[in-house]
Amino acid sequence: LVARDFVDFVVAQCNSRFRANASRTQAFFRALRRTTALRELTSASTGWVIVVKPEQAKAVKVVLESVQWLDLTFRMAPVEDGIALPLTAAGVAGMQSTDIPPGLVQELVGEPIQLRQGVELPASKVRAAKVSQYDHLRATLKAFADEHGVELSEADIRSIPSRWEKVGDCVLLPRGSLQSPGMDELRSVSSTANALDSAVCRVLNARLLGVQDEVVDDGFRSSGVRLLVSDGNPWVVHVDNRIKYTFDVTRCMFSSGNISEKLRVAKWKLAGEVVVDLYAGIGYWTLPILVHARAAHVFCCEWNPASVDALRRAVALNGVADRTTVLEGDNRSRATADRIRRVASRVILGLIPTSSGGWHTAVEALQDTGGFLHVHENVRDGEEGEHAERCAASFSALLAKRGGIWDVSVVHIEKVKWYAP
C-alpha cells in the first residue's frame, strides 16, 4: 500500500516525461520533413533550359548564377540554334512569370526568351547540387505549414518569390509576395504575429524583410517599401563596387539596374576636375566619381530631405566629405545657381524620364573653357541618335543665350537599361 500523494507524484513524473518525449518526436519529424523536402527539390534536374545566342551566353550565365537560377549539375552546351543553359526549379518558375531579373532583360533585349524542356546536357563536375535559397525557402515554408496544420495550394506556392533584391542586410521581396489565402491563414494560426515572416528572414539571412510597392507620388519618388520584419532601425549600408551607400529603405530607393553605368563612370579619370551633380539622390553618381574617379570636388544638388540625409552620411562613411558640397533644395533656385555658376568641367543630369528642367542651370554651371554634360533621358529604342542630336541643338541654343562662342557635339551614347510600359 502507498500513499495517494506518492501515486500523484509518480503520475505527474510520467506525464512530464511523456510530454517531453512527444515534443522530441514532433521535432524529429519536423526536421525529417524539412530534410526530405530539400532532397526532393534537388534530387533531379528540371530538364528545362534557356537557349540564347552564342555571343550572349557568357553574360546570361553570369546573371543566372547571380540569382541562383543556373543548374550547376549540368554544363551549358551548344544546340542547333544557340547555346542551352540549364535552369533550376527557381529559374523555371521565374522565367515563366514576369519577374525576370533586370540584368537578364538587358542582355536579351530585342530577343524572345526561348525556354525548352527535355534538352539533354552533359553533367558537370559538381558532385552535388547546392540547395538554392529559393528551394530552401520553399521547403521551409512547406514544413512550417505542415507544422501548423495548413495545406498550401498551388496559388500559395506561387506566392513564394523565386527572386528578391538584397540591399545591405535587408531583403526586399517583389510586390505581392507571400500574399495568398494560405499564407494569410498561416500567419493567423502562428504562435506569434510575424512567425512566418521571421522564418523567411532567417532563411534569407537578413536583418530586415520588406515588400516593394509602388513608388510614392510625393514629388520625391520616395520608397514604397513596407517592412514585414524590423528591429526598429530601417537604415542599411549597401556595398557596391567597394562603395558604401547608406539609406533608410522605407524612404529611399536603391537602383541596382544602374550597375553597368556606375561601373563605367567609376573608370573615368577625373583628377583635378570639379563636377556638379544636379540630381544627386543618395549618391548614385557622386560616390563613384569621388571614390574611384577621384574628382577634386563634387557639388551635389538634391531636394529630397531623406536623400540629403543619406548622401551626407554616405560621403562621411566613404571618407570623401572634404571633397563634397551638398546643396539642399531646388537646383533651379537663384541661390543654388549662383553657388555653382562657372565651376564645373562636368555636369551630371541623372534624372529620368527627362532632365530638361535642369538644362539651363547646367549650362550656367559649365566653366568658360567648356566641359561635358552627361544627360540621362528615356528614349524609344532605335531613336537614341536622333534624340541626342535634338538635345545638342537645345544646349546650343541655351549656350548662345549665355554668350560666347560654343561648339556643341554628341561625344558618346550609352544604353543603360531597357524597360517597357
For residue range 110-165, what is the model confidence (pLDDT) as tens digits?
A: 566 688 888 888 877 654 445 678 888 888 888 888 888 888 898 999 999 988 98
Name the 3-class secondary structure at 407: coil
Question: For the segment 333-346, what is each residue's pLDDT rounded down to a tens digit?
Answer: 999 999 999 999 99
- Cell numbers describing residue 107: 542582355
Q: Which residue has the higher pLDDT, 5 or 163?
A: 163
Contacts 24+ apart (CB under 8 A), 362-366: 362/276, 362/278, 363/395, 363/398, 363/399, 363/402, 364/337, 364/340, 364/402, 365/276, 365/278, 365/299, 365/337, 365/340, 365/341, 366/342
Contact between 224 and 216 (Cβ < 8 Å):
yes
How sure is the predictor about 313, in pLDDT bands with cuts at 50, 70 and 90? very high
Q: How many CA atoms lie within 13 A of 254 on its CB side?
A: 25
- pLDDT at residue 99, rounded to an integer: 60
Q: What is the dihedral of CA 36, 115, 53, 134, to 10 degrees?
A: -30
How sure is the predictor about 39, in pLDDT bands with cuts at 50, 70 and 90? very low
Q: Which residues, in sequence order, are bridge partners of residue 134?
A: none
Stretch 167-191: mean pLDDT: 88
Residue 132 to residues 32, 86, 128, 223, Cα–Cα distance (Å): 19, 14, 12, 29
Name the 3-class secondary structure at 101: coil
- Cell numbers describing residue 114: 526561348
| Best CA proximity match to 98, nearest among 403, 419, 313 | 419
Question: What one-character-per-residue DSSP string does 333-355 give?
Answer: SHHHHHHHTT-BSEEEE--SS--
Instruction: Judge whether residue 277 has pLDDT over 90.
Output: yes
Cβ within 8 Å of residue 373, ≥6 positions away: 346, 347, 349, 362, 363, 366, 395
Instruction: Judge whether residue 70 has pLDDT over 90.
Output: no
Instruction: Judge whether residue 37 has pLDDT over 70.
Output: no
- Cell numbers describing residue 202: 532567417
User: How many residues in the chain?
Assistant: 421
- pLDDT at residue 7, rounded to an integer: 72
- Cell numbers describing residue 80: 542547333
Per-residue burial over 52-86, b if 16 or more Cβ lie within 10 Å, else e, is: beeebbeebbebbeebbbbbbbbebeeeeebbbbb
| Best CA proximity match to 286, nearest among 300, 272, 296, 273 | 300
Whole-number mean pLDDT of the chain? 84
Is 300 buried (19+), middle (13-18) or exposed (0-12) by CB count in 10 A? buried
- Alpha-carbon gap, residue 222 to 207, rounded angstroms: 22
Stretch 51-72: mean pLDDT: 83
Q: Which amino acid type is present at position 396?
A: S
- pLDDT at residue 420, rounded to an integer: 57
How sure is the predictor about 107, in pLDDT bands with cuts at 50, 70 and 90? low
